Each structure stands twice: as C-alpha cells, then as structure tokens.
Amino acid sequence: MALALWGAAPVAGSGLDCSTIPDGPPSPSPSFLVPVKYKTIGNNRIAYRLVSNTCPQACFRGGQELVVPPPPLVLVPGYGWTIASWGTRFLRRLARNHDLILFDSPAQGLSTEIVPSNEPLGRDVLRQTIRAFLESLGLPRLNLAGWSIGGTLALAIAAENPPWLNKVVSFGGFSFDSKAVLGDPSVLQPFFNPTNTNEDDAPYFFNTTPRQARQRRLIVDCRQLGREDRWIADVGAMPSDPPKPEANLRYSTGLVGSLIPGDTSVWEALAQTRVPIFLMGGTDDVLIPKAAQLGLVQQIPDAWLAQFPGTGHAFQAEKVEEVVSAMDAFLLGGAPCAGSSSGCARFNSG
C-alpha cells in the first residue's frame, strides 16, 4: 500500500502522521490539471491533459522577463508510466515557465484502442503514432521531453527532423536500435513484470531497498521517508490513471522486438539531426546505464549532457529543482550547464 504523505493516512505501523511535510505539494486542483481530452489517431484514442503556464504575469529567466514565451512542452512517458506517474512536484515546477501537454501512450492508462489488439507495441508503431498525435495538435513549434523509453522515442522523432520540433530533452534514453545500451538482464527481467506496481518499480528507479525491507523499518520522523516513498505518494496525489498490465506486456515485447541485430538506423540518423538535444541521466542508473548517454552525446551534433551523481533511473523525481533549472536554461535559450553540479557539458560543438 502506498504511503499517503500528503493525504490523511499515517505511516503504517508507526503511529506517525505524515499528512503534511514542509516540502510536500498540495493535491492538484482544476487550475493545475484540466479534464482529460482525447484525440483519435488511427486505431488509437489518445488521452491527454493540458497544464497552463503558472507565471502570474510573465515568465522570467535570470530575473529578466521572457518577451517571447517558449513553445509548449510535451512530456513523453516511459514504460509502465501514465500522466500520473510524473507526479505533482515535477509538473508544478515545470509549469512555472512552460505550457505542458501530457498524454498517455497508445493503449496505456486512459488511452484506448478503437479495435482492441494484442500486438506488440514497438519502436516504429509508437514513433509513428506519437508523431501523428503531436502533429494533430496543430502547433507550429513544440519542445519534447521524455523519460526512459519516452526519452528514447523523443530521440527517434528528433532523428527524423520534423519541422515543428524545436528542442528535445531525453531523461535516461538510448538509441532505439541495435546500439541500445541496457542494464543487466537479471535486473531488467523482474522490472518488466507487467503486473508491477509503483512500489515494485521504485527500487529500480531509486536504487533503494526492496519493498519488504521498507515495510519492516521503523519510521520515527517523516523526513526519514525514503525518496521512493515520496515519489509514490507524489504520484498518488495525481488523478487516478493506472497503467494496464496487458499494455505493459505489449510494450516490453515490442521493445525487445525493436532491437534488431545490425539495425543502426536511429543511431545513424541522430548523427544528422538538426534538433538541439539535451541528454540527462543518473550516474547510478541500473536500468539504462550512464554509458548509454555517454555514447549518444558523442554521436549527436552539439548535444548537451548532464549526469546527476548518486541518482538512479528516476533522477528527475529526486532532483526536481536542479533538473528543471537545467531544462529551463536549455529550453529558454541559455546554457544548461551554467552553475550545475551535474557534470554537465556540451559535446561536438566544433
């Protein structure tokens, strides 16, 4: 059972009420997340939400008003994630300077299929469907930021150089072909269990103890709650949007089927992309090792790279302020590495 840090529930078995903690966000309100909308893309009915920029009057960067607002930022979710999985803290911080477009991937969460299918959901189907969804929005320019497979798909779309794509941020992404760098199979196999819950996945995201060990420990102070517990509670504060086990299975099967030996099509196309790209990763990521980003940043022209020390696959959920500050600097036109402690650098700048 997820700990309700910002709800009314105490920590189980401790008698401790963690319904409020200083750095916890309030629950979402209608002004934060508008009702779900849908777009029909082929056989898919894609669920999406809009988050309006929360700047009171105008947005600022470095104390200066932004005369031209940035293009809307679309977040591409990873395996087993839905809109809810981003959590309130990350979304609220991003929305200070960006209009956000959040969506559930094909057949996942609140997204459905007109004619139900059991076919694997691999690279090409997902890239085509997500690109068609983005183009259906009718916006002249968009920024993309994706996590895990979502970051990988964002890179695959950037490799096609669509004219409406402004910039891309990839969290823990990889090249969606035979050049993919993935974690040890002994780690990936249990992670890709299609019935996993957030509590099951959190140790892989944050490199923490398994759920059973967390349940046995004695919590005497709300601040002792682990980073995984804070993320679970943060997701729990979002409107309900659970992933579907049957969709998870189709995604994991499609991922494996997309990594065809000898296929380096995305890798080679990324060497020719004109889209500015910012790669991010956790130095202790056990799912997508840091070597994935180190290889990509040498392949992509003028790419930026930031790796956050001591963090795992969901580094953006535990380093919210540092990650979003670097994103803002990149997406709003500045240098994302300025003042960063993340080992940030630019490559191939000539």
Strands, E assignment, the chain: 10-11, 16-17, 37-41, 44-51, 60-61, 64-65, 73-76, 100-103, 112-113, 142-147, 165-171, 277-282, 304-308, 345-346
Residues 7-45 pLDDT 10s: 223 333 334 444 444 444 444 443 467 889 999 999 999
Residues 151-191 pLDDT 10s: 999 999 999 999 999 999 999 999 999 999 999 999 999 99
Mean pLDDT across 190-205: 93
In this predicted structure, what is the pLDDT of residue 349?
Answer: 45
| Ramachandran angles phi, psi of 138, nearest 5° | 70, 25
The region that residue 80 occupies, defined by phi over 0 for left and psi between -120 and 50 for alpha, beta otherwise, is left
Residue 283 or 230, more confident? 283
Instruction: Kindly state the DSSP code that residue 168 receives in the 8-state scheme.
Output: E
pLDDT grade, residue 223 (50/70/90)? very low
Mean pLDDT across 275-304: 94
In this predicted structure, what is the pLDDT of residue 232?
Answer: 87
Of 1.10.357.10, 3.90.1170.50, 3.60.60.10, 3.40.50.1820, the CATH number of 33-346 is: 3.40.50.1820
**Count of C-beta atoms within a 10 Å radius of residue 78:** 24
Domain ranges of the chain: 33-346
Reported pTM: 0.85
**Count of C-beta atoms within a 10 Å radius of residue 163:** 7
